[in-house]
Amino acid sequence: MPNAIITGATHGIGKAIAEKLLSQGFSIAICARNVDELAALQSTWQQQYPAATILCLQADLSNKADVAVFADEVLKQFPVIDVLVNNAGIFYPGNIADEPDGRLETIISVNLFSAYHLTRKILPLLKQQRSGHIFNMCSVASLKAYAQGGSYGISKYALLGFSDNLREELMTDNIKVTAISPGATYSRSWEGSGVPAERMMECADVADMLWAAYTLSATANVEHIVLRPIKGDL
């Protein structure tokens, strides 16, 4: 049974990806800060996919030490890692000139450093097995600045740069790296925004594109996936 790690998987895009992989016969490891959400998901998923190993571990990915503990526990349980999805992220609107002091550090710690540190912990195994596929959840904000983007936009530009550098570095190790840059995708973070759900993509759309990229031949790699709502960015 193949194994995957998905961060930020208790809701939204991460949850859709986790459920897609479970439905395709994967065992998975996820983490989040909310213990109750993790327990509820573990119970539901284990009933739906009794053959899968499902690790739901508490971790704050803004904390480097928590990332290390999470990675070490997963590596104890999974002798092979087939997929790593660095999906954890936070968003706060604001302008660089007047957003609160410390906002950049807060967002970078989750949106960039968590992916950097977790990937570095998993890479020795991927290099040893000479296989694996790393997906980094970027954003259309990785491609174009927009009003109120602030530190979030900076972090997503950086994550795309991380993806490009990582891909170049790992080509000779037979490890694939794909950046995914979705536009507006309906999840609970949009609830109460006043934007109709039909104006946005579905989380399952992103999960389906990840699966399509993963299932290509061993000699093909999709470097960057960009998805937008049919009517364009909001």
**Interatomic CA distance for residues 223 and 88, integer angstroms:** 20
The pLDDT of residue 193:
80
With contact defined as beta carbons under 8 Å apart, do 21 and 206 qualify? no
- Structural domains present in the chain: 3-227 (3.40.50.720)
Q: Label residue 58 exposed, middle or buried (CB < 10 Å: 0-12, 13-18, 19+).
A: middle
φ/ψ of residue 207, rounded to 5? -60, -40
**Interatomic CA distance for residues 90 and 110, integer angstroms:** 7
152 is catalytic: yes
Q: pLDDT digit string (tens) for 148-182? A: 999 999 999 999 999 999 999 999 999 999 999 99
The pLDDT of residue 192:
75
**Interatomic CA distance for residues 44 and 55, integer angstroms:** 13
Q: Tokens 């296989």 label which residue?
A: 131
Q: Which of 49, 116, 152, 214 is catalytic?
A: 152
The pLDDT of residue 40:
95
The residues of the chain scoring below 50 in pLDDT are none
pTM for this predicted structure: 0.97
